[in-house]
Amino acid sequence: MFGNTPSIDVSQWFSINSTTGVVYVSGQLDRENASEVVLTISGTDLGSNDAATSTTEPDATVTISITDINEHGPVFQPDGTTVIDTSVQEESAVGTIIINVEAIDPDNPINGMVTYMLTGNSSQYAYINPLTGTCLLESKSVLCFCCMSC
């Protein structure tokens, strides 16, 4: 039995019980490294003295799909960013793009989807597109420094 996944050593991932033929997980699986593993399994008749008939022909191929779990959280880019500074001009129009933020989650597409939201009272000043990370000016009142009555 061996794995047929390019550049990934999956020999530590699966084992087979030589008596029952049960294939089981024997190591830590990582879907981010391999989403599918192809195992080739052969059988041997220990009671046969004829080498030509003592092994299975052809071998069996077992394809194992490794599903993803949500093991990673999103990380702002560049990697490790925790503070993002930006500026916007006074009297900018509502809808002006303030910043585009990006976070990446290395899980597969479903578990790796990132949605964005503003927290606290910042949503009264800005809007963030939950799918794209584009942050827009929502209210001009926060930017009017000429007269505090705007």
For residues 101 and 133, the answer to whether their CB atoms sit within 8 Å is yes
Q: What is the pLDDT of residues 137-146, one digit of tens each?
A: 987 665 555 5
- With 0.85 as the threshold, say if the pTM is over it: no
**In whole angstroms, how large is the CA radius of gyration of the chain?**
28
Please state the domain extents for the chain. 1-67, 71-144
Q: How far apart are CA 17 and CA 22, in angstroms?
A: 5
State how far Cα 81 lies from the chain centre: 19
Q: How far apart are CA 14 and CA 35, in angstroms?
A: 14
Band (pLDDT 50/70/90 cuts) for residue 148 is very low
Query: Does the pLDDT of residue 2 top 50, yes or no?
Result: no
Q: How far apart are CA 54 and CA 48, in angstroms?
A: 5
Query: Does the pLDDT of residue 102 top 90, yes or no?
Result: yes
60 three-state secondary structure: strand
**Which CATH number is 71-144's, of 2.40.110.10, 3.40.33.10, 1.20.58.1000, 2.60.40.60?**
2.60.40.60
State residue 14 phi and psi, 5-degree precision: -130, 150
State residue 142 phi and psi, 5-degree precision: -70, -20
